[in-house]
Amino acid sequence: MTVGIIGYGNMGAALATGLQETRPDVRLAILETAPARRKWAVQKLNAVDCGTDAGKLCEESDVVVLAVPPMEFESVAAGLVDYIGERVVISLLAYVTLEQLMEGLQTPNVCRFMPNIAAQVGQALVGIAYPDNPSEALVGASTDLAKAVGMPLRVSESLIPAINGLSGSGIAFLLKFIHGACLGAVETGMRYQDALTAMLQVLRGTTALLDQSGEHPVELVSKVTTPGGATIAGVRELDMHGFEGIIEAGVIASASRALETEH
């Protein structure tokens, strides 16, 4: 399978890098206006350089991935519409709807991906939204591609903003949490790098525990908060500052902004 990526910015590059790491059998083709980005993709990923030739990219590709800024969709679609044919089209364009994709490209073989930057290490959550009655070819190719860079989660298009807030923006929230936790450890005497190494293992252990136990997060919190202990003191401090409410508000704010910008 050859995947043609149009737009080699942060997310296009993350997807391409993730595919190279997890699916060496997948061939890549790149359409990008910046020569330096194309050169990097050719040198590092052995991608086919299609320059800015949409026809060549489609000719080379089984699946076409749109990873340009949303405001460029109309012009990109105009250049693609004569070449798409029966190819599967996957859109990473956060604010371009399925209806717009189908109308602009004149094909029903489209879907929307909402991944995050963890795609570059094969660990992204990939929300996928399809039109009504998607073809088996569309579902198969898109699910296969999503699995190559993380975990696919099929959702209705109305939930794409929620996935944006939870997953796309959620990585930023977790990074800020990690940094804050490390600063707290530094304040108590640890080196920052040692604290970061420790915190990464704490995160790995926590996610494994949640995944394997099947327990609710609150149940697990209760198991580590012994009476009069260190954990309950820290939990109380977090609660006094509205920790859970702040995280909730952050996800809601990101999802709401994403919803506002849906066309």
What confidence score (pLDDT) does residue 42 get?
87
Burial of 133 (0-12, 13-18, 19+ CB in 10 A): exposed
Question: Could you tell me if 7 and 67 are in contact, meaning their C-beta atoms sit under 8 angstroms apart?
Answer: yes
Q: Which domains does the chain carry?
A: 2-160 (3.40.50.720), 168-260 (1.10.3730.10)
Question: Could you tell me if 261 and 172 are in contact, meaning their C-beta atoms sit under 8 angstroms apart?
Answer: no
Q: What is the pLDDT along the chain (263 residues), one digit of tens a residue?
A: 899 999 988 888 888 888 888 888 889 999 988 888 888 888 888 888 888 889 999 999 999 999 998 889 999 999 999 999 999 999 999 889 999 999 999 999 999 999 888 888 889 999 999 999 999 999 999 998 899 889 999 999 999 999 999 998 999 999 999 999 999 999 999 999 999 999 999 999 999 999 999 999 999 999 999 899 999 999 999 999 999 999 999 999 998 988 887 75
